[in-house]
C-alpha cells in the first residue's frame, strides 16, 4: 500500500450477500476485470481480496463533485461466497472487516444468505451499506453507464420509476421485519447510526457505483481516527494455502493491522503443530486485481495494513486456513507464540 501522511491504515470492506446477487460482478465493474466469468459455475468458492488505491476511488466518484479525498492509502475489499455451504467463509470475512456492503438483488429481495449475512453483521456490530443490485433488470431500464443513481433514475420512464419504488418499498419492509431500518442513501440523514443506507446499483452498466464508493469514503472519513489508526501489533489471518508455480507452497493472508517485512520470523498454526518459518517473499497482485486469481505479483520489502498478501516461506504445506499468523518480534519468546498460534 501507499504512504499516508496521517499514518492511517486502509479500511477493510467485506462484500456479503446471497448467492448470485452480483457481489463479484460489482467488484469486476469497479476493477474493470472479468473475475466472475472465470469462476467455476459462476460461483465464488474462496474469500477474495482486492486493493483499491485512494486515487482510483477518487476518480470513480468524481462526477458526484463531493470531497472524496481519502486520507488512507486505499481500501481493501474482501469478496465472500454467497452459496449456502460457505457459512464459515462468510463468518471469516465478516470478522476481518471494518465495514460491509450487503448486496441484495432488487428482483429477489431478502434471501436466506442475505439474512444470514445480516445476522453476522449485527452480531459484530458492523456498519454496512446495502447495494440494491441489478436495477438494470427493471423492465425498460435505460442504461446510463457509470452514472450516479440520481442522474440515472431521472432518465427512466414513469413505469420504471414506479417499479423501482415498489420493489424498494418491499425491500425496506423486509429489512424492517429483520429489525433493521433502511432508507435510500440520499434520503438518509443519519447514515448508518440507526438507519442503514440503500444504494441502487447495476454491476453490468455501473449505475450507482460512484455513489457506493462515495459512501465508503465518507464513512472512512468519519470513523478513521477511532478505527484506522495504526497499531504496531500485527493482526493477520490465513485465507488459503496454495501451491503456486514458481513460488512453491504459499499462503494468502489478509493483513488487517501492522506491518510485515521480508525476513520476518513468523508462526502459523499447522496440522502437525506450529510452523516457525521466515518470510521469503511478500507478494501482492497489482492494485485493482484479485488476490485469489492467478496473475503477476509485485514483490515488497515491507507491506502495511490493510492488504491481501501472498507469502512465500518454507514449510507452509500444512498451514491451516482461517488461523492467525504471528510475527516473532525482538523481545518475544517463540515458545509463547507457538502456543498462541495453536490455540486458534
Ligand atoms: P456468489 O459469489 O456465487 O455468491 O455470487 P455473486 O453474488 O458474486 O454474484 P455474481 O457476481 O457471480 O453474479 C451472478 C450473476 O448475476 C451473473 O450471471 C452476473 O452476470 C449477474 N449479475 C450480477 N450483477 C448484475 C447486475 O447488476 N445486473 C444484471 N442484469 N446481472 C447481474
Ligand atoms: Mg461471487
Ligand atoms: Na455467482
Q: How far apart are alpha carbons 66 and 278 in whole angstroms? A: 45
Is 6's pLDDT higher than 80?
Answer: no
**What per-residue confidence (pLDDT) applies to 7?**
81
CA of 42 relative to ligand 3 center, distance in Å: 5
Is 79's pLDDT higher than 50?
Answer: yes
Query: How far is Cα of residue 327 from the mean position of the Cα atoms in its chain?
Result: 24
Residue 120: its H or E element: helix 112-123
Q: Higher-confidence residue: 254 or 66?
A: 254
**What per-residue confidence (pLDDT) applies to 3?**
47
Pocket test for ligand 1, best of 31, 42, 133, 142 (most atoms within 8 A of CB): 42
Cα R_g (the chain), whole angstroms: 20
Residue 328: its H or E element: none
Is 122's pLDDT higher than 60?
Answer: yes
Q: Higher-confidence residue: 142 or 64?
A: 142
Q: Which of 218, 308, 309, 217 is nearest to 262 (CA)?
A: 309
The pocket of ion ligand 2, defined by CB under 5 A, consists of: 23-24, 44
Nearest ligand to residue 103 Cα: 1
Q: Which of 169, 167, 162 is nearest to 108 (CA)?
A: 167
Q: How far apart are alpha carbons 258 and 81 in whole angstroms? A: 27
The pocket of ion ligand 3, defined by CB under 5 A, consists of: 20, 42-43
Residues with CB under 6 A from ligand 1: 17, 19-25, 36, 42-44, 81-83, 133-134, 136-137, 202-204
Nearest ligand to residue 27 Cα: 1
pLDDT digits (tens, 9 = 90+) for 209-225: 999 999 999 998 888 87
Q: How far apart are alpha carbons 290 and 120 in whole angstroms? A: 24
Pocket test for ligand 1, best of 16, 23, 24, 25 (most atoms within 8 A of CB): 25
pLDDT digits (tens, 9 = 90+) for 28-59: 999 999 999 999 999 999 999 999 999 999 99
**What per-residue confidence (pLDDT) applies to 178?**
98
pLDDT digits (tens, 9 = 90+) for 300-320: 999 999 999 999 999 999 999
Is 321's pLDDT higher than 70?
Answer: yes
CA of 236 relative to ligand 3 center, distance in Å: 27
β-strand pairing of 248-257 with 235-244: antiparallel
**What per-residue confidence (pLDDT) applies to 1?**
42
Q: How far apart are alpha carbons 210 and 9 in whole angstroms? A: 22
Which 3-state string (H, E, C) describes 136-177? HHCCCCCCCCCCCHHHHHHCCCHHHHHHHHHHHHHHHHHHHH
- pTM value > 0.90: yes
Is 173's pLDDT higher than 60?
Answer: yes
C-alpha cell read off for 235: 493482526
Pocket test for ligand 1, best of 22, 45, 100, 206 (most atoms within 8 A of CB): 22
Is 83's pLDDT higher than 90?
Answer: yes
Average pLDDT over residues 258-287: 97
**What per-residue confidence (pLDDT) applies to 191?**
64
Q: How far apart are alpha carbons 89 and 80 in whole angstroms? A: 7
CA of 191 relative to ligand 3 center, distance in Å: 29
ipTM of the complex: 1.00
Average pLDDT over residues 230-240: 93
**What per-residue confidence (pLDDT) applies to 4?**
44
Average pLDDT over residues 78-105: 97
Q: How far apart are alpha carbons 20 and 334 in whole angstroms? A: 44
Residue nearest to atom 15 of ligand 1 (CA): 20
CA of 44 relative to ligand 3 center, distance in Å: 6
Which atom of ligand 1 is found nearest the CA of 25? Answer: 11
Q: How far apart are alpha carbons 207 and 150 in whole angstroms? A: 9
**What per-residue confidence (pLDDT) applies to 18?**
98
What is the percent of the chain with per-residue pLDDT over 90, rounded to a whole number?
A: 86
Which atom of ligand 1 is found nearest the CA of 113? Answer: 4
CA of 112 relative to ligand 1 center, distance in Å: 16
Is 2's pLDDT higher than 70?
Answer: no
Q: What is the mean pLDDT of the chain?
A: 94
pLDDT digits (tens, 9 = 90+) for 178-204: 999 999 999 998 765 789 999 999 999
Which atom of ligand 1 is found nearest the CA of 83? Answer: 4
Amino acid at each position: 500500500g501507499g504512504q499516508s501522511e496521517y499514518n492511517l491504515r486502509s479500511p477493510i470492506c467485506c462484500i456479503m450477500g446471497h448467492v448470485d446477487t452480483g457481489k463479484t460482478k460489482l467488484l469486476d465493474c469497479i476493477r474493470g476485470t472479468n473475475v466472475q466469468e472465470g469462476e467455476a459455475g459462476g460461483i465464488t468458492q474462496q474469500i477474495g481480496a482486492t486493493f483499491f488505491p485512494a486515487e482510483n476511488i477518487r476518480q470513480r466518484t468524481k462526477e458526484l463533485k463531493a470531497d472524496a479525498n481519502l486520507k488512507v492509502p486505499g481500501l481493501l475489499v474482501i469478496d465472500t461466497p454467497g452459496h449456502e455451504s460457505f457459512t464459515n467463509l462468510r463468518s471469516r470475512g465478516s470478522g476481518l472487516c471494518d465495514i460491509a456492503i450487503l448486496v441484495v438483488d432488487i428482483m429477489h429481495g431478502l434471501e436466506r444468505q442475505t439474512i444470514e449475512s445480516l445476522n453476522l453483521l449485527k452480531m459484530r456490530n458492523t456498519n454496512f451499506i446495502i447495494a440494491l443490485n441489478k436495477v438494470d433488470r427493471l423492465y425498460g431500464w435505460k442504461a446510463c453507464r457509470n452514472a450516479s443513481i440520481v442522474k440515472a433514475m431521472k432518465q427512466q420512464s414513469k413505469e420504471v420509476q414506479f417499479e423501482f419504488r415498489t420493489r424498494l418499498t418491499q425491500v425496506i419492509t423486509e429489512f424492517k421485519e429483520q429489525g433493521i431500518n433502511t432508507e435510500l442513501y440520499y434520503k438518509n440523514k443519519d447514515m448508518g447510526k440507526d438507519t442503514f443506507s440503500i444504494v441502487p446499483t447495476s454491476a453490468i452498466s455501473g449505475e450507482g457505483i460512484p455513489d457506493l464508493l462515495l459512501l465508503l469514503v465518507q464513512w472512512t472519513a468519519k470513523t478513521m481516527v477511532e478505527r484506522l489508526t495504526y497499531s504496531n501489533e500485527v493482526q493477520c489471518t490465513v485465507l488459503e494455502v496454495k501451491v503456486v508455480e514458481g513460488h512453491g507452497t504459499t499462503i494468502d493472508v489478509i493483513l488487517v493491522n501492522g506491518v510485515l517485512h521480508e525476513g520476518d520470523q513468523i508462526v502459523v498454526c499447522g496440522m502437525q503443530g506450529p510452523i516457525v518459518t521466515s518470510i521469503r517473499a511478500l507478494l501482492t497482485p497489482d492494485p485493482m486485481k484479485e488476490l485469489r486469481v492467478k496473475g503477476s505479483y509485485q514483490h515488497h520489502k515491507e507491506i502495511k495494513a490493510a492488504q491481501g498478501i501472498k507469502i512465500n516461506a518454507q514449510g507452509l504445506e500444512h498451514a491451516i486456513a482461517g488461523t492467525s499468523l504471528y510475527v516473532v518480534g525482538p523481545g518475544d519468546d517463540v515458545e509463547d507464540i507457538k502456543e498462541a498460534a495453536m490455540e486458534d
